[in-house]
Amino acid sequence: MILSGQHLNAARALARTRSVSLAQVFGNFAAVLLCAWEGKTENIRCLAEWIGGKVEVSRFQGDAHCYAVKALALAKPFSGLEFGPVKAESDFGLTVAGTSCPVETIVSIGELSFFFRAMLPGTQLFVSCSSCIFDVDAEARRNLRAALSFSGLAPLLFFLRDCGISAWQTPLRAANILIDDPDLKKSYGFIDPKTLAQWVDKLGCAVSIGFIP
């Protein structure tokens, strides 16, 4: 299940009317992601109640802060990377203390948790500390910058990957070598098509050759 801050507040109100805890409300879900929230006081109270601990919010200013991704399988290409700056207008950090459930930080900003999971009985609660939502309909005219897209997209991808959500993946993980506009000769410069074809087969890579007829 994926929750926003608004959904979390509504769930807490529902729990109160039924005289149960938030952990009981979501007890049938193996994994829950809390994202798209602003770390407001009411949300923080809900989260603290859910995990049975103390939660404090810290805000960022300036561009001196970076994301640091822990070396975990769910992070795949981001595993072990550190980059920035963080989006201070939408991202924040949390300090979690006093809870009896194990808490694992997946992405940190300095000493603070930006994306983490709390292992509650029967449920893994993932928390992404950002109000950002990736706009899948936005037009991109150049390559996406990791730091600009990270907080709105990567935690969701990490969550879905950890949940084992099926997604198509190419069976071929190969480099693609691009050669632009060579003369169509048996040998041109350092290019020998026969030798090139042999190395493509041997290395399992791909080669794209573009030319103007």
Quick: pLDDT tens for 54-105.
999 999 998 899 999 999 999 988 999 999 999 999 999 999 999 999 999 9
Q: What is the pLDDT of residue 160?
A: 94
Which residues make beta-bridge pairs with 105? 116
Confidence category of residue 173, pLDDT binned at 50, 70, 90: low
Which has the closest alpha carbon to 113: 63, 58, 71?
Answer: 58
- Sequence-separated (6 or more) residues with CB below 8 Å from residue 97: 53, 54, 56
Q: Which residue has the higher pLDDT, 140 or 31?
A: 31
H or E stretch covering 193:
helix 193-203
Q: What are phi and psi of 19, to 5 degrees?
A: 55, 45
pLDDT in tens, 109-163: 999 999 999 999 999 999 999 999 988 888 888 877 888 899 999 999 999 999 9
Going by the DSSP 8-state scheme, the letter that residue 55 receives in this structure is E
Residue 47 vs residues 29, 58, 99, 142: alpha-carbon distances, Å: 16, 15, 11, 38
Q: What is the four-CA torsion angle of 19, 24, 25, 28, rounded to 10 degrees?
A: -150
- Sequence-separated (6 or more) residues with CB below 8 Å from residue 130: 35, 36, 87, 90, 91, 92, 114, 151, 152, 155
Residue type, 148: L
2's tokens: 């994926």
- Sequence-separated (6 or more) residues with CB below 8 Å from residue 21: 15, 49, 50
Domains in the chain (CATH in brackets) are: 2-162 (3.40.50), 176-210 (no CATH)
Which has the closest alpha carbon to 106: 97, 118, 98, 88?
Answer: 118
Q: Is the pTM above the cut of 0.95?
A: no
Which has the closest alpha carbon to 84: 100, 68, 97, 73?
Answer: 68
